Structure 1
């Protein structure tokens, strides 16, 4: 099929999306962008239909969080504090409660605190 105007491309993209042909709509947006790179409506369509981009960032392991997760894992294995909320920082138990609200009331500084239920 031949598309003579930007509107032809946009209409074809709409039809493709309506019929569930998302890959076709994406291909059309790429073609339209090649033919009409300065058209804002085409740029917008191409941006919307572009494949998702995933970026990951490698961060150094936070030793405090790692210690806290290890502490929680050990309590789960030992079956301690079952069905209770716990607050842990740097692998040290700070508080035990029946809800997260109970924990927050008991702790002055919640920065870097790992909150979870032991199950």
Structure 2
């Protein structure tokens, strides 16, 4: 899609959204904008959304999984976390989205001293000792033992059943 016909400000906005990983192409960004415009028009005229019963912006579970994968592969873990949490809320019965939401959820700290549990200390020690061997990969470490390593977060998460007490990171 040629964006040259758009005002400079809009063209820059679309390009930024693609670079941030929100959209994969100019077509996808413009399509999303048109869906929003149509929804706004329908709502302002008191009409149902175009499909009659579902918000046209709602993504399928597979679309959410693809967006999470894209965010992770482009180095945007915060976006992946938001997508996973939103997807898990939207699809509470979808096991894979629920797993992503658990694995990508922010750490829960109930006490400041909890950060220095023996398990965490052992895992951080392992990362300092062996991390350089896994640069660019995702690793899962528990109690100072490597559970799994992969260049793909999806593959890593498929091999990790429980994220609790597991240190998961991409090694840089």
- TM-score, normalised to structure 1, is 0.46
Q: Specify which structure has the bigger relative contact order, considering alpha-carbon pairs within 8 angstroms and separated by 6 or more residues.
A: 1
Q: Return the index of the structure with the highest Cα Rg.
A: 1
Comparing both structures, which one devotes a greater share of its residues to helix?
A: 2
